[in-house]
Amino acid sequence: MTWQGKLLHIHIAPAASYEMEELAEAQLIAGRGIVGDRYYLGTGTYSPKPDVRDVTLIEVEVLEAMAKGEPQIPGFKAALTPDDHRRNLTTRGVPLSHLVGKRFRVGETILRAARMNFPCKYIEELLGIPGLYDGLLNRSGLNCAIEVGGIIRPGDPILPLDE
């Protein structure tokens, strides 16, 4: 499978439940996370190790499908902005579910996809959108480890390394 994606948005929050802040660039530190983010600081709900969560990604295509109510089963429809979904990086053209166990480049950095992310019921409460948990099942993003740190910016290409 050959693909090339793009980084659209970068978001961080200093602690669990805090509003997400969009960044024009971010510094990723290998084995830690995005400087200033709750998982880098150890203040995220899911910070305790061994869960790999240096950086989290979600596809903008998921947000677009949810806004249209696709798939029709469960028929859930919601408009989420890139700062609503609580993931760090919003991508386009990146097949996240196919990357588990693989490495890929984002800007200067190299990430290793650890596992698919699971939605939590808390996001429904936080955003006040009943059914959001079900709407995000099997498409809630990807948890990654940072193998090589560096600077990333919106517009950076995302490229496979393990093809």
For the chain, domains (ranges, CATH) are 5-160 (2.40.33.20)
- Residue found by looking up tokens 């709407």 in the block: 135
Closest CA to 12 of 63, 82, 87: 87
- CA torsion 20→21→23→28, rounded to 10°? -50
**Rounded distance between C-alpha atoms, residue 61 and residue 23, angstroms:** 21
Q: What per-residue confidence (pLDDT) applies to 1?
A: 62
**What is the reported pTM?**
0.91
Q: Which two tokens stand for residue 81?
A: 């902005």
Cα–chain-centroid distance for residue 134?
18
Model pLDDT for residues 42-54, shown as the tens digit of each residue: 887 766 665 788 9
Specify the 3-state DSSP secondary structure of 8. Answer: strand
Do 131 and 124 touch, CB atoms closer than 8 A?
yes
Taking phi over 0 as left and psi of -120 to 50 as alpha, with beta for the rest, 76 belongs to beta
109-116/142-148 β-pairing: antiparallel
Do 77 and 66 touch, CB atoms closer than 8 A?
yes
Q: What per-residue confidence (pLDDT) applies to 75?
A: 61
Do 97 and 116 touch, CB atoms closer than 8 A?
yes
- Which ranges of the chain have pLDDT less than 70? 1, 46-50, 72-75, 163
